Amino acid sequence: MASARYPDSELLLQIAGADQQAFNELFERYRDRLFAYLFSVTKDREASEELVLDTFLKIWQNRATLPELDHFEAFLFHIARNKSLDFFRQLQRNRERQTALWNIMYERQTGLSADQALLKEEVLKAIRMLVAEMPPQRRMVFRLSREQGLTYEQIAQRMNISPHTVRNHLAVSLRQIRAGLNSKYHLIALIFLLGK
């Protein structure tokens, strides 16, 4: 097997010359260890698989500089670490955006006309009914997040589940709520989001 014969430095020289077979060999050599590292950081199997591919894509894109590296493995894991930090930053941005939009719709109390306040109460009532129909664990996750403002980590700790499970429960519950609100309520939600 070629990956057992050639040291990293030789493979890097070949990859710098756009040798795809050498790149595949390098990928096979490090893929499992890189995945294990990323999974230990993210606790998310799908995200870890994507981050492994992103890391090797970056290696390929910067292949011309590979022969200059003294410690390829350290370089590889440094890229993977940065990719995992990007993953968490993106996750946080998405969570903050989702929470901000939800709070505008769910908690806005001022500046509403009597009609808007009535419509808002209708929407909230419909949402409460949809939440009540959720399975107990999902309902609890939703309420701890939306009503008590707990973070994924705090909810995970309180319920003795993983933050990944918390994230999944919230994503599913929000999809259920969106699907459960009819088009009339979707329009009202839009009014809340875009209104003054």
The reply to whether 112 and 86 lie within a common domain is no
Residue 103 domain-assigned (yes or no): no
For the chain, how many structural domains are there in total? 2
> What CATH number has the domain bearing residue 26?
1.10.1740.10
The reply to whether 131 and 169 lie within a common domain is yes
> What CATH number has the domain bearing residue 178?
1.10.10.10
Residue 30 domain-assigned (yes or no): yes
The reply to whether 69 and 113 lie within a common domain is no
- All residues at 6 or more sequence positions from 34 whose CB lies less than 8 Å from its CB, including other chains: 52, 55, 76, 77, 80
Confidence (pTM): 0.48
Residue 151 domain-assigned (yes or no): yes
Residue 102 domain-assigned (yes or no): no
CA distances from 23 to 18, 56, 163, 167 (A): 8, 9, 35, 35
- According to the model, what pLDDT value does residue 185 have? 54
The reply to whether 51 and 115 lie within a common domain is no
- According to the model, what pLDDT value does residue 90 have? 81
Range of the domain at 55: 2-90
Note down pLDDT in tens along the chain; length 196 residues: 344 577 888 989 999 998 888 888 999 999 999 999 998 888 878 888 889 998 998 899 888 999 888 899 999 999 999 998 888 888 777 666 556 656 655 555 445 555 556 666 777 777 888 888 899 999 999 889 887 888 888 999 999 999 889 988 888 887 777 777 654 455 455 444 334 3
The reply to whether 127 and 70 lie within a common domain is no
3-state SS assignment for residue 161: coil
The reply to whether 124 and 188 lie within a common domain is yes
User: pLDDT digit string (tens) for 45-79?
Assistant: 888 888 999 899 889 988 899 988 889 999 999 99
- Cα pseudo-dihedral 181, 184, 186, 189, rounded to 10: -110
